[in-house]
């Protein structure tokens, strides 16, 4: 039950922060959802970094890792919003923006996880 509460609290914090960043940043770019893109990339970086540190040095306890990765990062990042925004771009005929947003989100997201793992090795 304690672990469920930790995931719940972390997810709430992550979701609230995602909402604030997306609402603040997305209106500035009509064909590229920079707020959603940013939270997804930052979330990937954080997951890679904290998992890497924990594997390397037992940096976090199991409960702390659940709070940060499953809770916070799970609530902070958002594939469902990403998918809906992709659909919106297709519906509006924004094929170039669709392609750029899709490819950059996937490639930069994976690179951010790798970078987070690399950063964790430096400490």
pLDDT digits (tens, 9 = 90+) for 22-59: 999 999 877 788 998 999 999 999 999 999 999 888 88
Mean pLDDT computed over 84-97 = 93
Give the mean pLDDT of the chain.
Answer: 92
Question: What pLDDT is attached to residue 64?
Answer: 95
Q: Is the pLDDT of residue 92 over 90?
A: yes
SS3 of the chain: CHHHHHHHHHHHHHHHHHHHHHHHHHHHCCCCCHHHHHHHHHHHHHHHHHHHHHHHHCCCCHHHHHHHHHHHHHHHCCHHHHHHHHHHHHHCCCHHHHHHHHHHHHHHHHHHHHHHHHHHHHC
């Amino acid at each position: 039950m304690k672990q469920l509460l930790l995931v719940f609290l972390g997810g709430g914090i992550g979701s609230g922060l995602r909402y604030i960043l997306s609402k603040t940043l997305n209106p500035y770019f009509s064909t590229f959802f920079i707020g959603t893109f940013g939270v997804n990339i930052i979330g990937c970086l954080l997951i890679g970094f904290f998992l890497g540190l924990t594997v390397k040095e037992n940096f976090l306890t199991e409960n702390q890792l659940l709070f940060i990765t499953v809770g916070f990062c799970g609530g902070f990042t958002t594939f469902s919003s990403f998918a809906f925004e992709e659909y919106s771009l297709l519906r509006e005929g924004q094929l170039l923006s669709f392609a750029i947003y899709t490819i950059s989100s996937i490639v930069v997201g994976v690179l951010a996880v790798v970078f987070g793992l690399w950063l964790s090795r430096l400490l």
